[in-house]
Amino acid sequence: WLPISNCFSQERLVALYGNGSTRGAAFAGARGTSIQKLFLAKQSAYSKTAGSLEKWSSMAKDAEPYIRKYAPVAWEEIKGAGEAGIEGVNMDVMLMLAVEYEMYVEVGSDAQSSFRPPADKCTGYGAPGLSGQNNDEAPNLYLDAAEDVVLSILDPDGHGALIYTHPGWPAYMGMNSHGVSVLWQYIDTGERGAGVPTNVLIREMLAQASLDSAIQFLGHTPRMIPNNFILTDTSRVVNVELSSSHFTPLSLSQGFVVHTNHLLFDQAMQDQDIGNEQTSVQRYKAMRALVRHHDGSRVQAEDLQSMLATHPVFRDGRAGTDNDTLASMVFDLHSLSMGIWFKGDAYRSARRYAMPTLQTWGAHGSSDEAHQNIHV
C-alpha cells in the first residue's frame, strides 16, 4: 500500500463542529458548490425519464415529516444546510438529496426506465471491532466520486463521528466516537412504504450512543425501502435485513458477516428477492474466500483493506468486474480510526482519519492528529 500526502487527505476532509444546525450550515458553506453540482447531475439524469422529477419532489415532501419526527439530528443538519443562504442549496435541494437513493431504486426498478437497478453494488464485512466495505456505484451519476468527502463531526459535548458520503446526502457509511460503525448494502424485494429515507437512517444511527440504541432506533422507525445494514461495536456485529414490514437481525459475538446484494437470512424476503444479480453472488463468494485465508487468526484493518482492493470485490471494469468502486473504507473500532481509498487515488493507497475529540480539535476544525497518512 502507498501513503497519501497529508495535503491531499485534508482535501477530502470536512470538519464540522457545533450543534446540528451549525454543522449543517458549515457543511453547506464548505461544500455548497459540490452539493449543487451533484444535484444538477442527478436532475439532468432523471429529466430523461418522464415524470421522474415530479416524483422525486413528491417523495421529498412525503418524507419530510418522518425525518422531522424520527431523525432529529439529521433534520437539524439538513435544515442548517438548507437555510444557510448558499446559492443553489436550499431546503428543497437538501430534502430531495435525502431521498435520492429511494428515487434511484424506484426509477431503476421500472422496466421502462433507462436506469438499471443498483443490484450489483457494494460488498460489506463486519466482525466485533472491525468493519469495512466498498461503495460501488455508476461513476457518471456521482461525478466519478471527485466530490466525495469524509465528514469529521464533533458536537460541543465531545461526541464525534467520521462519515463517508456524497455532499448533500446525510450519510453513507461511518463510525462514531462511541465505537459504533454502520455499513449499508442494497437489497430489494419490491416493498415500498412511507417513512425515513435510507441515508437519513444511517446518519441517525451514527448519532446513537450504543449499538443497542442504534438497533432499537432502526427497528422502531418507519422505513421506505428494503436495505441491509451491518452494525458493529468492539464486542458484536449485527446484520439486519429489513424492509418496511420486515426486521431481521443476526447478532454475533464471535465470527464475522459478509453481505452483498442478495438476501441471506430472512427467508420470506428471500422468496421475493428482485435484486439477486450474479455479480452479488460472485462477490459474496470471493469475499468469503478471502476471509477464510485468515482462519485461526484475527483479521486486521490492513488485511481487510487489502481484501476490499482485490478483484472481483474491487470493481474497475477489469478482471471480470463491472460498475466501479467509488470508495473503499475500513473502520477500526478499537483505535477509532478510518482508512479510505477514493476513486482517482493511486490503486492500493489509502488515507487515514482519526476520530475527532475536544482535545485534538484545533483552530481549523481538526488537528494534525485527526488526519494522517497510512501505509498498509
pLDDT at 281: 93
CA distance 217 to 11: 33
- Which residue has cell 477500526? 332
Contact 17, 78 (CB under 8 A): no
Contact 184, 157 (CB under 8 A): no
Cell numbers that stand for 266 in this block: 430472512
The per-residue pLDDT for range 77-127, each reduced to its tens digit, is 999 999 999 999 999 999 999 999 999 998 876 655 556 655 567 999 999
pLDDT at 215: 98
pTM for the model: 0.94
- CB under 8 Å to 254, separation ≥6 — which residues? 128
Cell numbers that stand for 309 in this block: 482492493
- Which residue has cell 473502520? 331
CA distance 358 to 69: 30
Contact 106, 55 (CB under 8 A): yes
| CB-neighbour burial class of residue 253 (10 A; exposed 0-12, middle 13-18, buried 19+) | exposed
- Which residue has cell 458553506? 29
Q: Block means of pLDDT (10 residues each) for the chain, length 376 residues?
A: 54 96 98 98 93 97 98 98 98 98 85 58 95 94 96 97 98 98 96 98 98 98 98 98 98 96 97 85 95 86 96 83 87 98 95 95 50 42
The angle subtended at Cα 373 by Cα 369 and Cα 374, nearest 5°, is 115
- One-character DSSP codes across 160-216: EEEEEE-TTSS-SEEEETTS-EEEEE----S---SSB-HHHHHHHHTTSSSHHHHHH
pLDDT at 352: 96
The per-residue pLDDT for range 223-237, each reduced to its tens digit, is 999 999 999 999 999
- One-character DSSP codes across 270-331: HTT-S---HHHHHHHHHHHHHHHTTTTSPPPHHHHHHHHTSTTTS-SS-TT--SEEEEEEEE
CA distance 119 to 187: 7
Contact 186, 261 (CB under 8 A): yes
